[in-house]
Structure 1
């Protein structure tokens, strides 16, 4: 029968403005009794759940070997996000020269029968270390820990901030950004609206549905970063700029999405064969094509609300590109006389500029 008990850990509550964090030590072998790793996934309603990448087994094995060696030490604290079931009981305060820290006990309810998504704590940082301790041939291994009580949205924000100076898969960050609250690094905050639109495109109906590769859409074959760049440019300098609130960085997502679908649906229909192929077989679904066609959308529809755009005229204009593209075979012929094999164009700044200039010149005639 699974154990149910209360874990009481000596802790120090530290006030940081109107927030509190809790510094404590805990046997790493007990962490998984009350702590779960919040794996990123989408539920049946396609709502984002969790935020953690999968375990890296080679990294875990390396840490485990170190832990089982003589004199092993892990000085870095793991970071935990608690829900409201975890409480802090302050000790009787004596005389102190500081008012920002309070000693006491962290009270954590433990029920070993709970599923991971029902446990009172989530591991925000340190999943590889905790997994190595779990698997190591050791009776116990105390670790330093820092915890805070927060919603899962706030935990996602902390997860991104904690990992902002370490290599973190960009696809994971892009999928977390739309449902993250709190202060973010400027580079991530700038991309948050574009990331929201990308998720809408990938999760909803339309030509991008399920096509964009992401942690929760691994079958997608269009690179998320290419779509994100296309969206970000349009939001700040192109057709989607008109829907953006320049003061707070938000935007009318519904109108932006309608504008995008109104353009990309005829693109996918007109170049159906190229659109249905993976990037290795088509420069339309390749990063260079996604970005270049984004520039075409901006050229044709900038400053005109989507419900005022003459989409019949846009479709006729797009049809005029048919004789000037080599999405899946043949040769690109550019204005300067340069000729390139269809698949020689790469997702580089120079090639994106070359193809964008070529296509925009054709639709401007």
Structure 2
């Protein structure tokens, strides 16, 4: 028979569809009730979880305080509770003050340690790790819990809760495609670009397959991954949102629909052509090739807006045409050695800064336009 943990609780009806419970757990009970949904990918490439890796130094600092004397630990945890929890309100006129209702919260516990915990930690994972290791086993810990039956809802709340104390940018961007409602217009604008980055990283036909570092990338895969996902996300967002961007026409602003298959084809054609044009600079870490760094990705993405305007992506000759267009700038590029002529910048001094991104983008655009003009005379 499944055991049940009972705790005195307050129910706050902020949302009729999602009651919020305030209660306490002993430090040793947190590990029985809740688990951490680590962000990773399954064998099929689907995103699992949403939490960043353990920050050992942070956990160690919290643990040192918890094991000291005169502990005051008001920093609680936020848990996503299962639908199986039950709340029994207290009887009598004093059970409610108009804002909250007092009662008892019943949380079902697993029969043994190998079974999954009933709740997930939405906020406070570093604190929970420290509490689980603390000598102060019966320390009362404040808990706020809401019933979240789906992983998508948990991820959405995770992003909302962590808006004030920003999460790692790559963790946020990787989670966004999995969230039904983005927490803000700014994050909503990055959902499609982040989904496209997922495609570029996992599509067998993509030149980027396995080369993009995401929050879910494991340690072994990181040895091969050389491209920061945030640079690609920002580059794609720019092309999608700017009327001058080559990806802009594939979005129907009136209906909200997007021709993602055409966008996929265009991206694969262009970046495959970039790879084929600069084979010696492709798939190398940014320390050895600035093409794979943020400055190269952003500048070449802006060049994409000009190059792919000349390419019919439905044509069987599309890749050959794209390569021919990129070759117009190839001999003026210095991704792995030399100095960028007019810019007067050695290849390894290019930095992923707005100034260098703008300078390199403008330089490549001028070279490309001049080359096309010269060929038409």
Select which of 140, 143, 146 maps to 1:142. Answer: 140
Describe the superposition over 1:217-261 as per-residue Cα deviations: whole angstroms up to 9, x where unpaired. Answer: 233111112111211111111111112243686633332222211
Describe the superposition over 1:157-216 as per-residue Cα deviations: whole angstroms up to 9, x where unpaired. Answer: 111111111142111111111101234123212211111111111122211111111122
State whether residues 23 and 145 of structure 1, in contact with CA within 8 Å, keep that contact through their aligned partners in structure 2. Answer: yes
Q: Which moved more, 1:182-191 or 1:228-237?
A: 182-191
SS of 1:215's partner is coil
Output aligned runs, 1:1-365, within 5 Å. 4-18=2-16, 19-92=18-91, 94=93, 99-111=98-110, 113-115=112-114, 118-150=116-148, 151-205=150-204, 206-217=206-217, 218-219=222-223, 220-237=225-242, 238-246=245-253, 251-302=258-309, 306-307=313-314, 311=318, 312-334=320-342, 338-364=343-369, 365=372
SS of 1:111's partner is coil
Structure 1 residue 48, shift from structure 2 partner: 0.5
Unaligned runs of 5+ in 2: 373-377
Cα distance in 2 for residues equivalent to 1:102 and 1:183: 31
Describe the superposition over 1:325-346 as per-residue Cα deviations: whole angstroms up to 9, x where unpaired. Answer: 1111122112xxx422122211
State whether residues 239 and 304 of structure 1, in contact with CA within 8 Å, keep that contact through their aligned partners in structure 2. Answer: no
Describe the superposition over 1:131-180 as per-residue Cα deviations: whole angstroms up to 9, x where unpaired. Answer: 11211112311111111111111111111111111142111111111101
State whether residues 329 and 343 of structure 1, in contact with CA within 8 Å, keep that contact through their aligned partners in structure 2. Answer: yes
Cα distance in 1 for residues equivalent to 2:316 and 2:153: 39
Cα distance in 1 for residues equivalent to 2:284 and 2:308: 27
Structure 1 residue 85, shift from structure 2 partner: 2.3
Q: TM-score, normalised by structure 2?
A: 0.88
Q: Which moved more, 1:324-333 or 1:294-303?
A: 294-303
Cα distance in 2 for residues equivalent to 1:248 and 1:74: 50
Cα distance in 2 for residues equivalent to 1:207 and 1:161: 34
Structure 1 residue 347, shift from structure 2 partner: 1.0
Alignment: residue pair count? 359
State whether residues 242 and 303 of structure 1, in contact with CA within 8 Å, keep that contact through their aligned partners in structure 2. Answer: no
SS of 2:109's partner is strand
SS of 1:343's partner is helix
Q: TM-score, normalised by structure 1?
A: 0.91
Q: Which moved more, 1:98-107 or 1:11-20?
A: 98-107
Structure 1 residue 303, shift from structure 2 partner: 10
SS of 1:272's partner is coil
Q: Which moved more, 1:295-304 or 1:125-134?
A: 295-304
